[in-house]
Amino acid sequence: MRIAIVGYGRMGRLIEEIALDRGHQVVSRIDPQAPGADFPIVNPQALEDVEGVIEFGLPEGMIENAQVYTEQNLLVVLGTTGWDGLKEKLFSLYEAGGALLYGSNFSVGANLLFALTKQAAHLIENIHEYDIMVHEYHHRHKKDSPSGTALSIAQVILENLSRKTELQTEALTHRAIRDEELHVSSTRGGAVPGTHTITLDSEADTIALTHTARSRKGFALGAVLGLEWLKNKPGVFHADQFFKDYLGL
């Protein structure tokens, strides 16, 4: 496939390597100032002859980019996180054309973790002595907090454990946490590619489910496989739908 990479940062560069390994052509690299980029902004000229786009950038500019993609009926994989407030606007653009696959984490391991989290939440539904919480670590460059993956994990817990009804992402400095709150906390520093832990805790013991990314390769490979999957599928798809097919989850 002829691919454009939008956001030529840590992820964009790795996605290019993997796309080339899998026999795709990277015909356009779009980034405001990254070394090696061909174009600073998304416009029809930067997307000439492009069939598919993989965007791992920032939420700023995402909607303007999507306007151009949908006008050109492109297949788009969006890995950017931290844009929950833009969902409605973004999805409505794809009613005009094109196809979108979006997700907070394109690695197989994290998607297995989402499935394990669902099981864990179900298991403790009637075992009230277990509480549940989420923590994530990421490198010092990461701009959003909590991570998109942590928010996806939280969503799975809120949907599958009736006693947790509220997401709490703040540090609780002046009060205790309430039973119905699900605490999601974050640490930033160093070079950590991404570590997420769901802890089930009781007076007797602790059970921890941890996904530790050893590198960014798993995310990048999933994004390229996702773009291949999106061919001939118009509309908007969550990465869950891709992983259900790919892993038979």
Ligand X SMILES: O=C(O)C1=N[C@H](C(=O)O)C[C@H](O)C1
Q: By the criterion CB under 6 A, which residues form the site for ligand X? A: 81, 104-105, 138, 142, 147-149, 194, 219
Q: β-strands 206-212, 195-201: how paired?
A: antiparallel
Burial call 107-136: b when 16+ CB within 10 Å, e when fewer: bbbbbebbeebbebbeebeeeeebbbbbbb
Give the H or E element holding residue 28: strand 25-30
Calculate the alpha carbon distances from 74 to 116, 180, 230 in Å: 33, 43, 10
Tell me the torsion sign for CA atoms 216, 219, 222, 228: negative
| Least distance (Å) between residue 177 CB and ligand NDP | 26
Stretches 16-24, 104-112, 178-186, 203-211: which one binds ligand NDP (CB under 6 A)? 104-112
Question: Directed axis angle between helix 148-160 and helix 108-123, to 10°?
Answer: 30
Distance between CA 35 and CA 229 in Å, rounded?
30
Closest to ligand NDP by CB, 80 vs 200, is 80
Range 147-176, binding ligand NDP (CB under 6 A): 148
Closest to ligand X by CB, 50 vs 54, is 54
Partner touching 6 among ligand NDP, ligand X, none, CB below 5 to 8 Å by kind: ligand NDP
Distance between CA 25 and CA 49 in Å, rounded?
11
Per CB under 6 A, 229 contacts ligand NDP = no
Residue 142 falls in the annotated catalytic set: yes
Burial call 35-64: b when 16+ CB within 10 Å, e when fewer: eebebeebeeebbeebbbbbbbbbbebbee
Range 64-93, binding ligand NDP (CB under 6 A): 65, 79-82
Residue nearest to ligand NDP according to CB distances in the complex: 9
Q: Which two tokens stand for residue 192?
A: 């950590």
| Least distance (Å) between residue 134 CB and ligand X | 12
Distance between CA 222 and CA 232 in Å, rounded?
18
Write down the catalytic residue from 24, 89, 128, 138. Answer: 138
Site map 28..67 versus ligand NDP, x via CB under 6 A: --xxxxx-------x-------------xxx-xx---x--
Binder of ligand NDP out of 130, 137, 219, 237 (CB under 6 A): 219
Write down the catalytic residue from 135, 142, 164, 183. Answer: 142
Binder of ligand NDP out of 106, 137, 229, 237 (CB under 6 A): 106
| Least distance (Å) between residue 79 CB and ligand X | 7
Task: Give how many residues touch ligand NDP by CB under 6 A.
Answer: 30
Residue 231 falls in the annotated catalytic set: no
Partner touching 52 among ligand NDP, ligand X, none, CB below 5 to 8 Å by kind: none
